[in-house]
């Protein structure tokens, strides 16, 4: 008599708990940084609830992304799926789109750096000013 619904193997459960702990830890760090900057203290329950909400939100995101990719008959989730995920908020959507462009530019530049045999390097200098700012945001 094995009940499959409750029979998630121990290994998977352990991984899940570790991931949750990792998420909690980062949430705590981000919360503390922001609270310190604003000169307030968040109660433990607030941080725990935010972490729990984020975890739940991750599940929602994962399920949505999976469906989007499947709908497009793909097995790999790409940036377009993420953009679709942010459709509810125009600002968020714009921001993510911007990040995506920055990411692509950055990637192109590292490619250029790896292969310096490009004939014309004129256009390369134009976009660098923007890139630096985006980079520092990402870190």
Partner 1 sequence: MSGGTNFKEKTVQNILLQFFKDEKIKINAEALSLMTELLNIFVSEAVLRTIKEAKKDHQDQIPIDYFEKILPQLLLDF
* Binding residues among 75-104 for partner 1 as defined by CB under 8 A: 75-79, 81-83, 85-86, 88-89, 92, 95-96, 99-100, 103-104
Which residue of 62, 72, 124, 130 would you call a contact of partner 1, by CB under 8 A? 62
The radius of gyration of the chain's CA atoms, rounded to the nearest angstrom, is 21
DSSP 6: G
Chain-centroid distance of CA 90 in Å reads: 18
Q: Distance between terminal CA atoms of the chain?
A: 51
Site size toward partner 1 (CB under 8 A) is 60
Buried/exposed code over 28-51 (b: 16+ C-beta within 10 A; e: otherwise): beebeeeeeeeeeebeeeebeebb
Residues that bind partner 1 (CB under 8 A): 12, 15-16, 19, 22-23, 26-27, 29-31, 33-35, 37-43, 45-46, 49-50, 53-55, 57-59, 61-63, 65-66, 69-70, 75-79, 81-83, 85-86, 88-89, 92, 95-96, 99-100, 103-104, 137-139
């Amino acid at each position: 008599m094995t009940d499959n619904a409750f029979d998630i193997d121990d290994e998977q459960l352990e991984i899940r708990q570790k991931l949750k702990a990792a998420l909690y830890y980062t949430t705590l760090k981000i919360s503390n940084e922001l609270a310190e900057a604003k000169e307030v203290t968040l109660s433990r329950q607030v941080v725990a609830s935010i972490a729990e909400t984020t975890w739940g939100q991750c599940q929602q995101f994962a399920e949505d992304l999976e469906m989007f990719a499947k709908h497009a008959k793909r097995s790999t989730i790409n940036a377009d799926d993420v953009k679709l995920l942010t459709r509810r908020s125009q600002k968020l959507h714009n921001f993510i789109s911007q990040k995506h462009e920055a990411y692509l530019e950055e990637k192109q530049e590292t490619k250029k750096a790896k292969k310096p045999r490009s004939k014309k390097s004129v256009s390369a200098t134009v976009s660098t000013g923007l890139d630096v700012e985006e980079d520092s945001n990402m870190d």
